[in-house]
């Protein structure tokens, strides 16, 4: 079987081959230094021959070994093969199948639980460390960040910090997803400059989360 999996760190995609793809994905996870799991994107029938064909089709996007950059060409191929849409989750920042099976749902909910208790994704931790180092090193810091973060990643840095405060004030775990999504909307509206949206979401937040 051929498998496509995505690294949670740099979002690169590995195209590999295994007799038992589930086991192989698990192996990679245990071999990885962080506890964050690779996201399985696609499993296809086939052996070495098909694997090398795919490596050659996507060779210009190769990063190293069996790892490829997450370019639209590869993501489109996966989408076409699975006939599945990937849904981007704004709470955790990962891609998930829009019709997940039981294992996907469990893995996804575990990923949220880890964030909820302060186990932030790698890119966010790196960002926080680099910012802090820059402030320690310079009185007026010029911050150069080597971690590649999307706008949404940076918004999550803020929203996860707000969540920690809310948690300290007694907000319950089951409110985690709603809380994160509301504050992501809040930041969207604030940055967009759309006054109407901003007022709407501010009202909603005041009603739901003010006391935290």
Site residues (vs Zn ion, CB under 5 A): 89, 91-92
Is 25 or 95 the residue whose CB approaches Zn ion more closely?
95
C-alpha distance from residue 188 to each of 41, 113, 204, 209 (Å): 28, 24, 14, 17
Is 8 or 16 the residue whose CB approaches Zn ion more closely?
8
Minimum Å distance from CB 96 to Zn ion? 7
Label the pairing between strands 62-64 and 86-88.
unpaired
Instruction: Give the CB-nearest residue to Zn ion.
Output: 89
Is 24 or 116 the residue whose CB approaches Zn ion more closely?
116
Minimum Å distance from CB 124 to Zn ion? 14
Minimum Å distance from CB 93 to Zn ion? 7
Minimum Å distance from CB 148 to Zn ion? 19
Minimum Å distance from CB 67 to Zn ion? 23
Is 41 or 91 the residue whose CB approaches Zn ion more closely?
91
Is 10 or 177 the residue whose CB approaches Zn ion more closely?
177
Minimum Å distance from CB 120 to Zn ion? 13
Residue from 88, 113, 111, 87 nearest 38 by CA? 111
Is 91 or 187 the residue whose CB approaches Zn ion more closely?
91
Q: How is the chain classified by DSSP, letter by letter?
A: -EEEEE-TTT--EEEEE-SSHHHHHHHHHHHSSSSPPPEEEEEES--HHHHHHHHHHTGGGEEETTEE---HHHHHHHHHHHT-PEEEPTTT--EEESS--HHHHHHHHHHHHHHHTT---HHHHHHHHHHHHHHHH-SSPPP---S---HHHHHHHHHHHHHHHHHHTT--GGGHHHHHHHHHHHHHHHHHT-HHHHHHHHHHHHHHHTT-
């Amino acid at each position: 079987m051929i498998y496509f999996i995505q690294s949670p760190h740099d979002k690169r995609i590995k195209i590999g081959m295994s007799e038992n793809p589930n086991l192989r994905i698990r192996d990679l996870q245990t071999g990885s230094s962080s506890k964050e799991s690779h996201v399985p994107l696609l499993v296809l029938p086939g052996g070495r021959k098909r694997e090398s064909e795919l490596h050659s089709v996507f060779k210009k996007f190769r990063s190293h070994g069996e790892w490829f950059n997450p370019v639209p060409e590869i993501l489109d191929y996966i989408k076409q093969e699975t006939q599945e849409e990937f849904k981007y989750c704004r709470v955790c920042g990962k891609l998930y199948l829009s019709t997940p099976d039981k294992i996907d749902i469990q893995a996804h909910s575990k990923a949220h639980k880890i964030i909820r208790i302060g186990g932030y994704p790698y890119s966010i931790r790196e960002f926080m460390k680099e910012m802090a180092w820059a402030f320690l090193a310079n009185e007026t810091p010029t911050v150069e960040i080597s971690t590649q973060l999307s706008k949404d990643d940076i918004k999550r840095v803020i929203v996860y910090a707000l969540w920690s405060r809310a948690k300290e004030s007694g907000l319950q775990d089951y409110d985690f997803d709603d809380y994160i999504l509301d504050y992501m909307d809040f930041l969207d509206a604030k940055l967009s400059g759309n006054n109407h949206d901003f007022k709407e979401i501010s009202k909603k937040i005041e009603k739901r989360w003010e006391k935290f």
